[in-house]
Amino acid sequence: VLPPDSGRRRWLQALCAQVLERAGFSYVETPVFESAELFARGVGASTDIVRKEMFTFSDKAGRSLTLRPENTAGICRAYIEHGMHKWPQPVRLWYWGPFFRHEAPQAGRYRQFTQVGAETLGSDDPAIDAEAILLLAEILERAGVERLRLRIASLGSPETRQAYAEELRSYLRGREAELAPEVRERLDVNPLRAFDSDHAGTRAVMAAAPRLLDRLAADDVEHFRAVLGLLDAAGLEYEVDTTLVRGLDYYTRTVFEFESAALGAQRGVGGGGRYDRLVAELGGPDTPACGWAAGVERILLAGAKGPAMAGPDVVVATATGARDAVARALRLARELRAAGLAAELAEPGRALRRQLRRADRVGARAVAIVGDDLQLKMLDSGAQTPVAGPAEVVRALASGGEGADPGVTA
C-alpha cells in the first residue's frame, strides 16, 4: 500500500472510526494469529475457509496456529477470556486490520486483505441487527461506494436449519444427476452451499428447491419482520433474498450482504449477521450477538474517493548550505508545525532552485526561504516578501484555505 493510495485508505479508516465511535463502538485489536482449533470450531469445519483457505502452521512448541481468516471468532474468544459479559451489555467493538485467506488471487481478491468490522455482543434485540446494517450502509455511502445493493435473509435457528438441510438434501438427491460434481460431493456436509454454485444445471435445480425462509420458526419470523420493519422505517432499501447463504457456519437468524455493481466478479463489499450461539459454543456464557465485516480494498476499488492528497502548507528551504541557516530552517519548521501548519523541510544541501522545484512538485502553498533574512514565497502568485518570523508566516497562510484535514469531521 503506497502513496497516494495510502492516503485514501487512512481517510477511510478515519471515516469508519468516526461513524462507529459516535455509535458507541470501541476499537479493539486481537492477535493476527490464533489457535487453528478456534477457527475450526468458530467458523465451521464444513466451510471453504476452514477446508481450503487457512494459512495454518506449527510453532516451535508444536501448536497448530492459523493466520486469522476473519475476526468474529477471535472477538468471541477475547469476550470470553476477558470476562466481557460482566461489562455493561451490549458490548460494542470495532476493528480494522489484516486477514489472510489462501484463495486464487484476482482483482479484489487477495491472500492478505484488510477488513473493517463491528460486533455487538450481549443483545438479541432486532434493533441491534438493524443498527449494524445501517452503520455499514452509512460507511459505504459516505465512502462513495457506487451502485450498492443490500440483500438480506434469515437463517433461523440451527435446529430449523438442520431439519431444512435434511429436506433440501433429499430434494437434491432426487435430482443428483443435474448437479455440479463439487456440489454432489458436499451434499452430505452442507447442502445449503449448493445455492452459491455458478453451475447452470445446479442453478436450475436450486430455482425450484424448498426455501429456508418458508420453514422458519415463529419467533425467528417475528425477529426477521422486526428487523425489516426497522430498515423500512429508516428508509434503507433492501432485497429479501431466500438464496443468501454466507460462507461461515456460525450465523443464526439475520444474514446480510452489500454488493457493488461497480466491482467485477468479486462484488461483495461487506456482510454479516447474527451469531447467537457462537460465544456459548466457544465455551462462554449464552451471548446473542450480531456483526459485520467489510473489505477495505473492495470499498476503495468500488469508488471511495477521499480527498486528494494535500501538499504541505509550507516547504522550508535554505538559501545557503551554511550550518547556521540549516539550524535556523530546522527550528522554523518545528515552530511552524507547533503552530499547526504542515511544514516540510527541503533538502538543505541542495541548490535553492532545486528546493523550490521540489516545493512545487509536492504541491506546497508557500516556501519559507532561510538565508541572511527570512523570505516567504507564495507559490500560486509567485510573490516573494520578507517576513519577520514564524508568526508572520502563519498569518500569511491562515488567510487562504485549510490544512490537510481528512475532511471527515464535516
Give least dist CB 270 to ligand AMP, A.
5
User: Contacting ligand AMP (CB under 6 A), which of 151, 253, 298, 377?
Assistant: 298
Helix (H, G, I), strand (E, B) or coil at 249: coil
C-alpha cell recorded at residue 326: 540549516
Give dist(CA 76, CA 82) in Å, integer: 10
Quick one: 7 or 247, whose CB is closer to ligand AMP? 247
Quick one: 48 or 276, whose CB is closer to ligand AMP? 48
Q: Which among 123, 113, 135, 104 is positioned nearest to 20, based on CA atoms?
A: 135
Give dist(CA 76, CA 79) in Å, integer: 5
Give dist(CA 146, CA 130) in Å, integer: 21
C-alpha torsion sign, points 124, 125, 130, 134: negative
Angle (CA) 126-131-132 rounded to 5° is 100
- Residue 16 to residues 5, 11, 89, 96, 127: CA-CA distances in angstroms? 17, 9, 22, 9, 20
Q: Which of residues 171-190 bind ligand AMP (CB under 6 A)?
A: none
Give dist(CA 304, CA 131) in Å, integer: 22
Quick one: 115 or 202, whose CB is closer to ligand AMP? 115
Give least dist CB 155 to ligand AMP, A.
14
Q: Which among 157, 160, 149, 189 is positioned nearest to 172, based on CA atoms?
A: 189
Orientation of helix 390-398 relative to helix 323-338, angle to 10°: 50
Give least dist CB 204 to ligand AMP, A.
26
Per CB under 6 A, does 48 bind ligand AMP? no
User: Contacting ligand AMP (CB under 6 A), which of 34, 70, 220, 249?
Assistant: 70
- Tell me which residue has its CB nearest to ligand AMP: 295
Q: Which of residues 134-163 bind ligand AMP (CB under 6 A)?
A: none
Stretch that binds ligand AMP, among 150-158, 178-186, 289-297, 385-393 (CB under 6 A): 289-297
Provide the mask over 78-117, with x wherever binding to ligand AMP is found by CB under 6 A and - wherever it is not.
Answer: -----------------------x-x----xxx--x-x--
Give least dist CB 116 to ligand AMP, A.
9
Provide the mask over 226-265, with x wherever binding to ligand AMP is found by CB under 6 A and - wherever it is not.
Answer: ---------------------x------------------
Give least dist CB 28 to ligand AMP, A.
17
Quick one: residue 122, left, alpha or beta (phi over 0 = left, psi -120 to 50 = alpha)?
Answer: left
Give dist(CA 20, CA 5) in Å, integer: 23
Give least dist CB 216 to ligand AMP, A.
22
# residues near ligand AMP by CB under 6 A? 18
Contacts to ligand AMP by CB under 6 A: 70, 101, 103, 108-110, 113, 115, 247, 268-271, 293-295, 297-298
